[in-house]
A and B are shown apart, each in its own frame.
Chain A
Amino acid sequence: EVQLLESGGGLVQPGEPLRLSCTASGFRFSSFGMSWVRQAPGKGLEWVSGISGSGETTYYGDSVKGWFTISRDNSKNTLYLQTNILRAEDTAVYYCAKAGSTRDWYFDLWGRGTLVTVSS
């Protein structure tokens, strides 16, 4: 079955780090770019970060540049998001999403999301 499954979310205190994971199955993981997209409670979608299929190229949104690090392990079909010094405004559901094409960055497959709550 083609699917993405996120993990690693939870309640964290401001300033603490967190690592999110996304395990892929059912498709050739290394062939496709992957992204993280988040959605704060009651708000819209915000693209966070992306990484090429090989892992050589990474992309970041302005709000997380310098704070978050995206990576992937193609041998494990897993995508990661390392979040450092979390702030209350980072509270959101974090989705991993697969690029629909090797040459375009629309997202044709989404995980169910993992909730990150930053609060003391």
Chain B
Amino acid sequence: DIQMTQSPSSLSAFVGDRVTITCRASQSISTYLNWYQQKPGKVPKLLIYTTSNLQSGVPSRFSGSGSGTDFTLTISSLQPEDYASYYCQQSYSSPWTFGQGTKVEIE
């Protein structure tokens, strides 16, 4: 099975900061990497699919990059509504594993 490891597990940043979350796969997954946002008590929401494709309706301050084993999610200017947990997920091979999550808190 492919293991997905996110870092950091949590972070705190100011509104307006640039925030980067890293996801590493235990083996190459090409660009089959997806990102989700989950706000407290809410359903997960797809942000980015296949490494860098922004899901419809997602603000352009979110972006993704990477290939192979190393990937990043970047929030270019953190907003108060971005307080949430973020999860990466590989769709290269079953089982379609998720990372453990990164909790983003607003300073």
Contact = CB atoms under 8 A, between A and B. Distances in A.
A22 B48 CA distance: 24
Interface residues of B, number: 24
B52 to A, nearest CB: 12
A35 B44 CA distance: 14
B91 A105 contact: yes
Interface stretch (B15-23, B74-82, B96-104): B96-104
Interface stretch (A72-80, A83-91, A107-115): A107-115
A47 B36 CA distance: 13
A44 interface: yes
B72 interface: no
B98 A46 contact: yes
B34 interface: yes
Given A62-B1, A104-B91, A108-B55, A45 B98 contact: yes
Given A61-B95, A106-B34, 17 more contacts: A44-B99, A44-B100, A45-B38, A45-B101, A47-B96, A59-B94, A62-B1, A62-B95, A95-B43, A95-B44, A100-B46, A106-B49, A107-B34, A107-B36, A110-B43, A110-B45, A111-B43
27 contacts: A37-B98, A44-B85, A44-B87, A44-B99, A44-B101, A45-B36, A45-B38, A45-B44, A47-B89, A47-B95, A47-B96, A50-B94, A59-B96, A60-B95, A62-B95, A95-B43, A95-B44, A101-B49, A104-B32, A105-B94, A105-B96, A106-B34, A106-B46, A107-B36, A107-B44, A107-B89, A110-B43
Contact of B50 (A44, A104, A112): A104
